[in-house]
Amino acid sequence: MSASSFNSPSAAESSTAHRAPEHLNNIGCEIRYVEGKGRGVFATRTITAQTLVEICPVLLFSAEEYELHGKYTVLDHYTFKWRDGRMALALGLGSLFNHSENPNISYTIDSTTDSIRYTTARRIEPNEELCIFYGHKLWFDAVGGVPNRSMAIEKPDDGWGGLTSVTGDLNGECGHINNPFEVGDPTDIIPEEELPFIRIKTTAEDIEEETIVEVRTLQAWAVDIPDPRHTTVMLKWLRQSGFDTPTLSHLKRVRKSAKSSTLLIGPSEATPTLPDDPDLGLSTPYLISIPKTVALTQTSLQLKNTLWPTVFAPRRKGESEPWTRAKVLWAQHALQTIVREAQRVRDAGELPIVSYVPPPYDIPDDFTPFISHDTRTTARHPLRHSALNVIRQIADHRSTTSSRPSRAVSPSADLPTPPISLSGADTPRAETPRNGQGYLLTGLTLFTTHEPCIMCAMALLHSRVKEVVYLVPMDKTGGCGGAACVPRLEGVNHRFTIERWTGTLEGVDDIRIDDDVDA
Ligand X SMILES: C[S@@+](CC[C@H](N)C(=O)[O-])C[C@H]1O[C@@H](n2cnc3c(N)ncnc32)[C@H](O)[C@@H]1O
Residues of this chain that bind ligand X (CB under 6 A): 9-12, 14, 36-40, 77-78, 95-96, 98-99, 140, 142-144
Q: How far is the CB of 86 from ligand X (least distance, A)?
A: 18
Q: How far is the CB of 22 from ligand X (least distance, A)?
A: 16
CA atoms within 13 A on the CB side of 361: 21
H or E element: which one contains 67?
A: helix 63-68
Q: Which is nearer to ligand X, 77 or 81 (CB)?
A: 77
- For strands 87-90 and 79-81, give the pairing: antiparallel
Q: What distance in Å separates the CA atoms of residue 392 and residue 384, rounded to the nearest whole number?
A: 10
For 128, counting Cβ atoms within 10 Å of its Cβ (0-12 exposed, 13-18 middle, 19+ buried), the class is middle
Q: Which is nearer to ligand X, 10 or 249 (CB)?
A: 10
Give the phi and the psi of residue 98 in degrees, each rounded to 5.
-80, 170
Compute and round to an integer the Cα radius of gyration of the chain: 30
Q: Which is nearer to ligand X, 97 or 496 (CB)?
A: 97
Q: How far is the CB of 61 from ligand X (least distance, A)?
A: 16
Q: How far is the CB of 15 from ligand X (least distance, A)?
A: 11
Q: How far is the CB of 14 from ligand X (least distance, A)?
A: 6
- For strands 497-501 and 197-200, give the pairing: antiparallel
Q: What distance in Å separates the CA atoms of residue 428 and residue 451, rounded to the nearest whole number?
A: 30
Q: What distance in Å separates the CA atoms of residue 241 and residue 224, rounded to the nearest whole number?
A: 17
Q: Which is nearer to ligand X, 41 or 215 (CB)?
A: 41
Please check whether residue 195 is in contact with residue 180, taking contact to mean a CB–CB distance below 8 angstroms: no
Q: How far is the CB of 334 from ligand X (least distance, A)?
A: 25
Q: What distance in Å separates the CA atoms of residue 449 and residue 472, rounded to the nearest whole number?
A: 6
User: Measured at CB, which residue is nearest to ligand X?
Assistant: 38
Q: How far is the CB of 507 from ligand X (least distance, A)?
A: 26
Helix (H, G, I), strand (E, B) or coil at 373: strand
Q: Which is nearer to ligand X, 39 or 123 (CB)?
A: 39
Q: How far is the CB of 9 from ligand X (least distance, A)?
A: 4
Q: How far is the CB of 134 from ligand X (least distance, A)?
A: 7
Cα separations (Å) of 55 from 92, 407, 497? 8, 29, 34
The beta strands (E) that lie in 285-386 are given as: 286-291, 354-357, 370-373
Q: Which is nearer to ligand X, 130 or 453 (CB)?
A: 130
Q: How far is the CB of 97 from ligand X (least distance, A)?
A: 6
Q: Which is nearer to ligand X, 95 or 497 (CB)?
A: 95
Q: Which is nearer to ligand X, 40 or 156 (CB)?
A: 40
Q: Which is nearer to ligand X, 143 or 313 (CB)?
A: 143
DSSP states of 123-170: -B-TTPEEEE---S--SS---SPPP-TTTPPPPP--SSTTHHHHH---
CA atoms within 13 A on the CB side of 120: 26
Q: Which is nearer to ligand X, 37 or 373 (CB)?
A: 37
Of 392, 388, 508, 369, which Cα lies nearest the Cα of 445?
Answer: 369
Q: What is the dihedral of CA 326, 327, 333, 334, to 10 degrees?
A: 160
